[in-house]
Chains A and B, each alone.
Chain A
């Protein structure tokens, strides 16, 4: 535990400011726009999700191992990868019937 905490502090201090490729997705009327994006394989990717709705949404992907609550009218940054080629579906957990999408890694 102590080692883990020390590791955390160390990593925060040196948090990456590298230029990771950035992709944007919007949430509009409980849907992702676009609902499919293609990102490069083997590289860390910065995902910016802009929630244009007034209500909060939870971006969630089990395969990407990510979840993040995005309050209404705000944006969130989520780092993913580096990933292997394939398809990684994601949903908006609070509106799962309409808010679905996938990330295609090539």
Chain B
């Protein structure tokens, strides 16, 4: 049961932390709970469909279907997070002001909520599909009640850490709040972009450039809990390739520059913006 719980926990953690960051980042936007809750449900439903199609996806495109599929999902999630970040460059100040006055939520946030909901659905779908496959496998050799209690324990553990992160975030003082969530969104997007790069390398679609820039696995293994948290939050990888590193840095640089440029274009003061 515990072996099952540990693996389910690992798979749930990434999705749970992304949901928490997104929930925090959309604080003050009307209708966010419905949108993001719906996105999680859609993600779980999608995960079951994708798990059923794993054989088909894996066998497609001369055996690199799974990598291309994962890379496409990750790139789509990065685009959605980027969209939100650029929206915040314009609306961040207004959100922060309203949050400070505890006044109405912002009503014109529909587009960014939609973008973030897609990112959440994709995250839940990707991690969820692996969990469903794993559970199906274990269920063939272990008694069902063991499997189910392992599943419940793992999901609860992942969700609890997500809830902790959210509670921590909402305690950040209002005047720094959207700057902090903005940085988290940027780091998240960069980590996902690097993961997409890794899948394309694995499929031999893109060259690694340098196969291994460094190896910090003896110091901080990605299998450990801190390593795993850092992996989700800032894209930590103990042995990244040159390509992953470039994609990571390029995503951060692009988002910072584009967000500065957008906020300058709209002529608003910068103090309360996300970056």
Contact = CB atoms under 8 A, between A and B. Distances in A.
Interface of A: 1, 3-5, 7-8, 11-12, 15-16, 20, 44, 46, 54-58, 62-66, 68-72, 74-79, 81-84, 93-94, 96-97
B31 to A, nearest CB: 28
Contact of A55 (B59, B63, B78, B137): B137
Contacts of A66: 198, 202
A2 B143 CA distance: 49
Contact of A71 (B58, B138, B207): B58
Given A1-B79, A58-B130, A93-B7, A71 B54 contact: yes
Interface stretch (B107-115, B154-162, B168-176, B217-225): B217-225
B222 A79 contact: no
A56 B54 contact: yes
Contact of B137 (A12, A56, A68): A56
Contacts of A69: 54, 58, 66, 130, 133
Contacts of A57: 137
B212 A65 contact: yes
4 closest Cβ pairs, A-B complex? A55-B137, A79-B204, A77-B63, A71-B55
B217 A1 contact: no
A67 to B, nearest CB: 8
Contacts of B59: 74
Given A68-B66, A94-B7, A62 B238 contact: yes
Contacts of A74: 55, 58-59
Contacts of B97: none
A55 to B, nearest CB: 3
B136 interface: yes
B86 to A, nearest CB: 11
Given A5-B75, A11-B200, A68-B202, A77 B215 contact: no
21 contacts: A1-B79, A1-B193, A4-B247, A11-B206, A11-B207, A16-B204, A55-B137, A56-B134, A56-B137, A58-B134, A62-B217, A62-B223, A63-B217, A68-B67, A70-B58, A71-B58, A74-B58, A77-B63, A84-B211, A84-B212, A96-B3
A103 to B, nearest CB: 13
B164 interface: no
Contacts of A11: 200, 205-207
B191 to A, nearest CB: 14
Contacts of B64: 77
A4 B240 CA distance: 18
Q: By CB atoms of chain B within 10 A, which of A20, A65, A94 has the most?
A: A65
A11 B133 CA distance: 30
Interface string B208-239: 00011001010001110000000000000111
B259 interface: no
B26 interface: no
Given A1-B251, A5-B75, A56-B133, A12 B239 contact: no
